[in-house]
Structure 1
Amino acid sequence: MTDAAVVGSGPNGLAAALTLARAGLAVEVFEAHERPGGGLRTEALFDSEVFHDICAAVHPMAPVSPFMRSLRLHEQGVRMMRAPAAYAHPLLGGRAAVAWNDLDATCADLGRDGERWRHLMLPLMERSEAVVRLMLSTQRTVPPLRALNALVPRMPVHALRLGGSLRTGAGRALLAGVAAHGIGRLPSPAAAAVSLLLGHLAHTSGWPVPQGGSGAVAAVMAAEIEKLGGRIHTGVRIDSLQDLPSGRRITMLDVSPRELARIAPLPDGYRARLSRYRYGPGAAKADFLVDGEIPWTDRRLSQTATIHLAGVGGTAAEVARAEALTARGAYAERPYVIVVDPAAADPARAVRGRRPVWAYAHVPNGDTRDPLPVIRASIEAHAPGFADTVIAERGMSAARLGEYNANYVGGDIASGAMTLWQTFARPVARWNPYRTPVPGTWLCSSATPPGPSVHGMCGYHAAAAALKENGLSAGL
């Protein structure tokens, strides 16, 4: 007999399934693709020995997420690997701003902005546990006082002014590059929250990559689910809740609001509210197999796995301009680009000198253009000769990314626009955002709090709420 059915095996679907299985329920997971993992898939695209992350590659939330910590990845043979720097941002003239793992080194590099950077990040670092607990909560609990003490003095200026209190071009660009992970207009409250969260983690637990690729994390979750008696069915597309096993008490849906409306018999009022859910800009992806290190003009860029690119000179204003165009559905000739070089943190990812290079460009939702030319040119501008190192390449438009993963509507990898309203009202405004009007049916995707990133907490919170309603508890 099946106690619970889970649709979708992305990180939140697997987190929900594992939370239910740990509580003693018989769980079945249904995944449309041939392999589980959703945004945590790793494949050999061009070379049988070189593995590329298909969606998520860098995981700053994994070391600090309560759910992810419960996996004890290191004990399962998966190390979270860190390069010397968390991220970097190339600037005009062949130089770069670098967020080193070490706060002192970063401050020294930023010159006149060094003490301002310290004043911004150190209080967040000292209260990091409370800040993370707030950011990864259901957004329905009393905020920890320590988190408020760190965030309240800093949020307004960063929500209202690009670069916040920073004054130099390097400092402002370094922070703007992080804020743009929020995928929307800059400055904004949502972008400020993203920059403060990810920015301070750069100097604590870092921005690591999983040893061997993101698929290793999904494999650990899947193995524990099966060890607890759960079953994972792949290659099974669910078109209606009636396709799921009968007699189940709980149904968990790791799907987008659009997919929820497609497969569930929702009442008209809830369906109408769900139809007003807004999706954000898309991501268009490029994968490269390259021979040797990327020939960055500033060689320090080889010491980080994550590089932010924008415009001609990489200024904060250029980041904001590109994000504003994209947010209103216009195409930026030089969009914001995130480049990931996993081998900078995990050298074993480079085999016989060949290494995977991963990149996203922010583009209008549903954009059908091949991103390869613009991404290749963006890298080449700061790494002359990069094109000559490329052995093989593949581009995936935002539209195609949305077809690959139904949760990424139009290529929206955040599963919904990251506006102030939708930060709290995901997917609709209600006290319990996970419960749907269909009895026993819960939404557990990134379209629920606390939102996107690989932390598993959307799945955990949804499963915990379902267990509570059934007189059971979820432990962490």
Structure 2
Amino acid sequence: MADVAVVGSGPNGLAAAVILARAGLAVEVFEAQPTAGGGSRTAELTLPGYHHDVCAGAHPMALASPFFRAFDLPAHGVELLMPEVSYAHPMDGGRAGLAWHDLDRAVAGLGRDGAAWRGLFEPLVRQWEAVVDVAMGDLRRPPADLVTALRFGLRVFEQGTPLWNKRFQDDLAPALLTGVATHAITPPRAIPAMGAGMLLGTLAHAGGWVLPRGGSQAIPNALITELERLGGKVYTGQRVDSLAEFGTARAVLLDTSPAELLRIGGDQLPRRYANQLGRVHYGGAACKVDFALSGPVPWRAKDCDRAGTLHLIGTREEAMVAERAVAAGRHAENPYVLAIQPGVVDDTRAPAGGHTFYTYAHVPNGSTRDISDQIIAQVERFAPGFTDLIVAKHVWTAAELPAHNANYFGGDISAGAMTLRQTAFRPVARWNPYATPVSGLYLCSSATPPGPGVHGMNGLNAARHVLRREFGIRTDPLELLDPGRAATR
């Protein structure tokens, strides 16, 4: 019988499982879907030979997350491919803001606002590891570099409040920043959205937004291979309905949404805690549309064909209109579209001459609407002729997403709205957000700090508490992943 059971095989569940197995514990992982990987799976969604990422496609944290830096994905066979342009933001008239991996090159392309972009990001890029420490912490420990924390915080405050237009003179640079902040699926002029935007923007010029060769599935596959090497087991097609299924396991970690914690925990959860979980607000959702194309997307703006990721919305003002509509429960007339073109760096995703094209648009939670026509129109706006390249498409509405990943409540891929309160207190107001009131039961999903993303830090933080509280093991999880770390401290 396992010492530890993990429910959910997303990056956080697998991160926790690997750390606990490195500590010498017997670990079993249970996954309801037929394929492990959670939000980092890859599948032939359109046509044979076209490999599409099911949720996460580009990976800003793969080289930056403390968990992945210690685990070392390349050493475990994951080839991380680096586009020259981390993300692009096309505008009408054939212009585009380009977040080149090279900060100097990005600054040169932003005209009068180049100096402002440098002033915003250069101090953070120089200290990017400290920025990650601030943004990826558990919100309970003070950051090691207080100066960088202050610089980061002041920039987030500036861009997340009505001060956000004071720095810029033209429309390109603010649109470029707004596009990345809107990853949070919330109106971008807000502290949580700009926290995400400033972190991702910093990493665009530091580590880079990489794409794994062959698809995002390579990341969970590497973690599973290591877990199995350590004696752990992963069971797919195993839906868990009760904590009673885990017998004598001393600890159970749920890589699930709060709604799934409520379902699985059932009557074992204290009423007050269950009521708090029931009040978690789930935010805007995604309508996911994948395309098989007969050729590369014909972007009108120069160098958009070098970007791994693109944000399709237009101006900062257009992004605000679209995201406010979604936040109010309405479909935006011109939705924000996030697009990824893996073929820029990876020729294994499609047959020779073909390309995969990943998109999702923000929609209200629970939306049953197929908005692929609006997505196509938004791409056509910036890439005339795109429609003629479509060989096949695959659509998941927001309402359909939970059938493929139970964590996506109503299509919310963040496991809870990124409001200010729910960023500071995820999932509920508790000093230890990972431990539940039930002895031995922990939450390790994106519903806990530091929030959504493929970085494994939620799993690492939860594993740290499990090791100390349940097994009396006080070794730093990062040292378990990288034994050489202790010798260099």
Q: TM-score, normalised by structure 1?
A: 0.97
Distance of 1:299 and 1:107 partners within structure 2: 16
Q: CA RMSD in A?
A: 1.2
Q: Cα deviations across residues 404-430 of structure 1 (Å, max 9, x unaligned)?
A: 111010111111111111111001111
Q: Cα deviations across residues 53-78 of structure 1 (Å, max 9, x unaligned)?
A: 11110000111111112232212221
Q: Which moved more, 1:372-381 or 1:114-123?
A: 372-381
- How far residue 291 of structure 1 moved from its aligned partner, in angstroms, is 0.8
Structure 1 moving runs of 4+ over 4 Å? none
Distance of 1:223 and 1:11 partners within structure 2: 13
Q: Which amino acid aligns with 2:416?
A: G
Distance of 2:389 and 2:315 partners within structure 1: 27
- How far residue 38 of structure 1 moved from its aligned partner, in angstroms, is 0.5
Name the counterpart of 1:456. Answer: 456
1:26 equivalent in alignment to 2:26 = yes
Q: How does 1:11-410 map to 2 (within 5 A)?
A: 11-144=11-144, 145-161=146-162, 162-163=164-165, 165-244=167-246, 246-264=247-265, 265-310=268-313, 314-410=314-410
Distance of 2:198 and 2:190 partners within structure 1: 12
Q: Cα deviations across residues 131-173 of structure 1 (Å, max 9, x unaligned)?
A: 1011111110012313323213322211113456222110110
Secondary structure, counterpart of 2:447 in structure 1: coil
Q: Cα deviations across residues 210-242 of structure 1 (Å, max 9, x unaligned)?
A: 111100111000011111000111101001111
- How far residue 276 of structure 1 moved from its aligned partner, in angstroms, is 1.4
Name the counterpart of 2:10. Answer: 10
Contact 1:130–1:146 under 8 Å retained in 2: no
Q: Relative to 1, partners in 2 of residues 1:152 and 1:70: Cα closer, same or farther, differing over 3 Å?
A: closer
Distance of 1:109 and 1:467 partners within structure 2: 49
Distance of 2:47 and 2:275 partners within structure 1: 47
Q: Which amino acid aligns with 2:218?
A: A
Q: Cα deviations across residues 258-282 of structure 1 (Å, max 9, x unaligned)?
A: 1111111211011111111111100
Distance of 2:445 and 2:391 partners within structure 1: 36
Q: TM-score, normalised by structure 2?
A: 0.95
Q: Which amino acid aligns with 2:229?
A: K
Distance of 1:410 and 1:289 partners within structure 2: 26
- The count of residues paired between Structure 1 and Structure 2 equals 472
Distance of 2:119 and 2:277 partners within structure 1: 41
Q: Relative to 1, partners in 2 of residues 1:164 and 1:410: Cα closer, same or farther, differing over 3 Å?
A: farther
Contact 2:289–2:358 under 8 Å retained in 1: yes
Distance of 1:271 and 1:345 partners within structure 2: 46
Contact 1:127–1:146 under 8 Å retained in 2: no
Q: Which amino acid aligns with 1:269?
A: R
Contact 1:285–1:371 under 8 Å retained in 2: no
Secondary structure, counterpart of 1:305 in structure 2: strand
Q: Which amino acid aligns with 1:86?
A: S
Q: Cα deviations across residues 361-380 of structure 1 (Å, max 9, x unaligned)?
A: 00000100112111111111
Secondary structure, counterpart of 2:311 in structure 1: strand
- How far residue 293 of structure 1 moved from its aligned partner, in angstroms, is 0.8
Q: How does 1:411-426 map to 2 (within 5 A)?
A: 411-426=411-426
Distance of 1:109 and 1:206 partners within structure 2: 18
Q: Cα deviations across residues 56-108 of structure 1 (Å, max 9, x unaligned)?
A: 10000111111112232212221211111011111111221111111111111
Distance of 1:76 and 1:441 partners within structure 2: 30
- How far residue 345 of structure 1 moved from its aligned partner, in angstroms, is 2.4
Contact 2:47–2:392 under 8 Å retained in 1: no
Secondary structure, counterpart of 2:38 in structure 1: coil
Contact 2:46–2:290 under 8 Å retained in 1: no
Structure 2: runs of 5+ lacking an equivalent: 479-489
Q: Which amino acid aligns with 1:332?
A: A
Structure 1: runs of 5+ lacking an equivalent: none
Q: Which amino acid aligns with 2:252?
A: T
Contact 1:290–1:356 under 8 Å retained in 2: yes
Distance of 1:474 and 1:242 partners within structure 2: 30
Q: Relative to 1, partners in 2 of residues 1:192 and 1:62: Cα closer, same or farther, differing over 3 Å?
A: same
Sequence identity, in percent? 48
Q: Relative to 1, partners in 2 of residues 1:203 and 1:241: Cα closer, same or farther, differing over 3 Å?
A: same
Contact 1:208–1:345 under 8 Å retained in 2: no
- How far residue 474 of structure 1 moved from its aligned partner, in angstroms, is 4.1
Secondary structure, counterpart of 2:361 in structure 1: strand
Q: Relative to 1, partners in 2 of residues 1:219 and 1:416: Cα closer, same or farther, differing over 3 Å?
A: same
Q: Cα deviations across residues 290-333 of structure 1 (Å, max 9, x unaligned)?
A: 011101111411000111011xxx00000111011101111101
Distance of 2:459 and 2:270 partners within structure 1: 24
Distance of 2:299 and 2:333 partners within structure 1: 22
- How far residue 350 of structure 1 moved from its aligned partner, in angstroms, is 4.1
Distance of 1:278 and 1:369 partners within structure 2: 21
Distance of 1:158 and 1:371 partners within structure 2: 30
